[in-house]
Amino acid sequence: MIKKKIAIIGLGYVGLSLAVFLGSKFKVIGVDSNKNRITALGKGISYFYEPKIKFYLKRAIKNGLTFTDKIDREIISCDIIFVTVGTPIDKFGSIDLSNIKAVSSDIAKNLANAKNKPTIVIKSTVIPGTTLQVIKPILEKYDLKESEDFDLLTNPEFLREGSAMQDTIAPHVIVIGGSNQKAIQKLTDIYKSAYKKKQNIVETNNITAEVIKYANNAFLATKISFINSIANICQKLPDTNVDKIAEIIGMDPRIGRQFLKAGPGYGGSCFPKDVQALINFAHNIGYDSVLLNAVKNTNSSQVNAVMSLIKQNIKNLNGKKVAILGLAFKENTDDIRESVSTKIISLLLKNGCKVCGHDPKAIDNTRIIFGNKITYTKSLKDALTDSDCAVIMTPWQEYRNIKEKDVLVMKSPIIIDTRRVISMKNKDITQVSLGIGK
Ligand code: UDX
């Protein structure tokens, strides 16, 4: 049997995870306009940290996975072309489609002289209507027609950073949006042969698939803002613990246990951007969502809840050494996009603090923002020694293992735990946990 040929355009978390997963089963070509990334990937080096990705990358390269920085005839000759480029937001909070438009235009140019009929699969998160109203007209520019010259599907992705490979290997659902049954079947067959186990594959139209992705992320963001509101209430109520409350309400199957971990607010490359883009999109079609605005505002004010805890426990911040434990927006990643830690660091610097940032993986990325305005260390001991306060921002495993003796090296052992990962009994240690009332 001839191996199906697949191209994946845009090698961020979604594109690269998919490329290295499918790369061990099909002939896959990964495309990214960033030459440095392509060179590194060709050598089996991922340009970002993600558990297990190195292993899958090396395995896929052995199986024939290749990389290029150009969309050319070779790409167009593929059976399936996944588009996984970034869709950031612009300065007004609306989706910026420039990457996906440029890629669609390149595909169209090459498709104009091609003989085969690829199935183009939009995996990037795009605002409802984009696949058919924006991408399709670009692809049809050179007298090409959907269904005759190419097929166009929408296939959103739900993977999380930090567990990107695990989520790619075992997705909870595969959503395929489109109108051409043959094309839907072609993509379904690819997925069926890629996965050992039977997958939950649902078919719908393009626009519904687009809405599903936003609704999914907005709902998860809502859960987090909700539990953060409960945490802030608990903070003022002696003898309450938000985790206990989350655990019990999570037993109600109508609520569910997941995404009820209170913290400093959600960050990352998806939730903040997608909630904002959905707010703007809804506004543009005539609906102002009170709920989504509240989710967003609750999230952006959570940083103040953390600052209040710091200020309540250190009377005068000026000149104090504060250790920020965790710079990445979540554990198991080096990504600091929209990380609340960077916001806290900026506020602490404004208050005249000396900040020391600690993270097992995200120091290089943080240095790009703060340069020598703060100090950095990978040693927890160095971060804590002589500091006036430590703030746990990211639930890295390393912080769960912090012992009382580790904290006692601090000048004043005050520890603010925004993720409730430690529990100190020693009377010389002041531990304040977000969402636990005292
Ligand atoms: C998210 C979605 O989960 C994923 O389906 C989508 O494809 C991309 O966006 P990601 O941003 O990678 O994934 O990580 P996620 O685990 O969802 O965490 C997002 C943020 O929410 C992090 O800052 C995390 O710390 C925070 N979070 C998550 C909480 O504060 N509490 C929770 O219970 C869960």
Residues 248-276: what's their mean pLDDT?
Answer: 98
Which residues are designated catalytic? 270
Residue 406 has pLDDT above 70, yes or no: yes
**Confidence at residue 1, expressed as pLDDT on a 0 to 100 scale:** 55
| Cα distances (angstroms) measured from residue 18 to each of 12, 127, 188 | 10, 22, 15
Length of the chain (residues):
438
Cross-sheet strand order for the sheet of 414-417: 375-377, 354-358, 321-325, 389-392, 414-417, 430-433
Contact 269, 338 (CB under 8 A): yes
Closest residue by Cα to residue 15 from 62, 77, 81, 98: 81
Residue 220 CA to ligand 1 centre (angstroms): 8
pLDDT band for 113, please (50, 70, 90 cuts): confident
Q: Provide the strand spans (E) within 366-426.
A: 375-377, 389-392, 414-417
Nearest-atom index, ligand 1, CA of 339:
23
% of the chain residues with pLDDT over 70: 100
Angstrom distance (rounded) from CA 333 to CA 328: 6
Tell me how far the alpha carbon of residue 264 lies from the centroid of ligand 1, in angstroms: 12
What's the average model confidence in pLDDT over 130-150? 97
Q: What is the pLDDT of residues 231-261, one digit of tens each?
A: 999 999 999 999 999 999 999 999 999 999 9
Averaged over 174-197, what is the pLDDT? 96
Q: Ligand 1 atom closest to Cα of 331?
A: 25
Instruction: State which ligand 1 atom lies nearest to the alpha carbon of 340.
Output: 23
Q: What pLDDT score does 362 carry?
A: 98
For the chain, the first-to-last Cα distance in angstroms comes to: 67
pLDDT digits (tens, 9 = 90+) for 55-64: 999 999 999 9
Cα(110) to ligand 1 centroid in Å equals: 37
Q: Quick one: residue 86, left, alpha or beta (phi over 0 = left, psi -120 to 50 = alpha)? A: beta
**Ligand 1 atom index nearest CA of 329:** 23
Interval 107-129 mean pLDDT: 96
Q: Rounded to the nearest whole angstrom, what is the distance from the C-alpha of residue 68 to the centroid of ligand 1?
A: 31
Q: Average pLDDT of the chain?
A: 97
The whole-angstrom distance between residue 287's C-alpha and the CA centroid of its chain comes to: 27
Rounded-to-integer distance, Cα 149 and Cα 113, Å = 10
At 6-30, the pLDDT tens digits run: 999 999 999 999 999 999 899 999 9
Note whether 228 and 262 are within 8 A (CB).
yes
User: Residue 151 phi/psi, 5° resolution?
Assistant: -115, 155
160 CA distance to ligand 1 middle (Å)? 7
Distance CA 192, CA 377 (A): 46
pTM above threshold 0.95: yes
pLDDT-based confidence at residue 196 (cuts at 50, 70, 90)? confident
User: Nearest C-alpha to atom 15 of ligand 1 is from which residue?
Assistant: 160
Mean pLDDT of all residues in 388-411: 97
What is the DSSP-derived secondary structure letter of residue 241?
Answer: B
* Ligand 1 pocket, CB under 6 A: 157-161, 217, 220, 224, 259-261, 263, 266-268, 270-271, 329-330
| Substitution site in 155, 259, 359, 420 for ligand 1 pocket (most atoms within 8 Å of beta carbon) | 259
**pLDDT at residue 189 is higher than 60:** yes
If pLDDT is split at 50, 70 and 90, which confidence band does 380 have?
very high
- Report the pLDDT value the prediction gives residue 334, as an integer from 0 to 100: 98
The protein residue with its alpha carbon nearest to ligand 1, atom 26, reads: 266
* Tens of pLDDT, residues 290-336: 999 999 999 999 999 999 999 999 989 999 999 999 999 999 999 99
Phi-psi region of 90 (alpha: psi -120 to 50; beta: other; left: phi over 0): beta
Contact 373, 409 (CB under 8 A): no
* Residues 21 and 88: beta-carbon distance below 8 Å: no
The best mutation among 247, 261, 270 to test binding of ligand 1, ranked by most ligand atoms within 8 Å of the C-beta, falls on 270
- For residue 433, the surrounding DSSP H or E stretch is strand 430-433
Q: Per the structure block, which two tokens stand in for 387? A: 């500091």
The predicted pLDDT at position 2 comes to 61
The rounded Å distance from CA 266 to ligand 1 centre is 7
Q: Which of 330, 331, 341, 359 to mutate to test the pocket of ligand 1 (most atoms within 8 A of CB)?
A: 330
Which of ligand 1's atoms lies nearest the C-alpha of 125? 7
| Banded pLDDT at 117 (limits 50, 70, 90) | very high
385 CB-near residues (< 8 Å, 6+ apart)? 409, 410
Residue nearest to ligand 1 atom 2, measured at CA? 160
Q: Determine the distance separating the centroid of ligand 1 and the alpha carbon of 50, expressed in angstroms.
A: 15
